[in-house]
Amino acid sequence: QVQVVESGGGLVQPGGSLRLSCAASGMLSRFYAMGWYRQAPGKQRELVARISSGGVTNYADSVKGRFTISRDNAENTVYLQMNSLKPEDTAVYYCNANLPSGSKWGQGTQVTVSS
């Protein structure tokens, strides 16, 4: 059974950093596009960053220069390094695998940026 499981969220002060992890099982993540999305209270889920099977990355304008998506094929894991965090980055962050059978979502991990 295909699963993606997020971890690494937490409470951080503005200007701080966090690294989120998305561990995949039941699939080899390197063959698929993987993405990080987020949803803040009262807002729609939005794409934060995406990495293709070939390693091409895309970012939302709001996180360019601050966030970096990467993948470790040996660990079957995708990461989101988040630096210079702002209060507006507060949200539940979700990992997504774009599979031929459809999207697979994780359960999400909460990121709170507050002093």
Residue 1 pLDDT > 90: no
- The pLDDT tens digits for 55-93 are 999 999 999 999 999 999 899 999 999 999 999 999 999
Could you tell me if 108 and 96 are in contact, meaning their C-beta atoms sit under 8 angstroms apart? Answer: no
> What integer pLDDT is reported at residue 25 of this predicted model?
87
Q: Closest by alpha carbon to 35, among 94, 84, 88?
A: 94
- The pLDDT tens digits for 15-52 are 999 999 999 988 888 888 999 999 999 999 999 999 99
Could you tell me if 12 and 18 are in contact, meaning their C-beta atoms sit under 8 angstroms apart? Answer: yes
> What integer pLDDT is reported at residue 9 of this predicted model?
97
Residue 101 pLDDT > 90: no
Residue 115 pLDDT > 90: yes
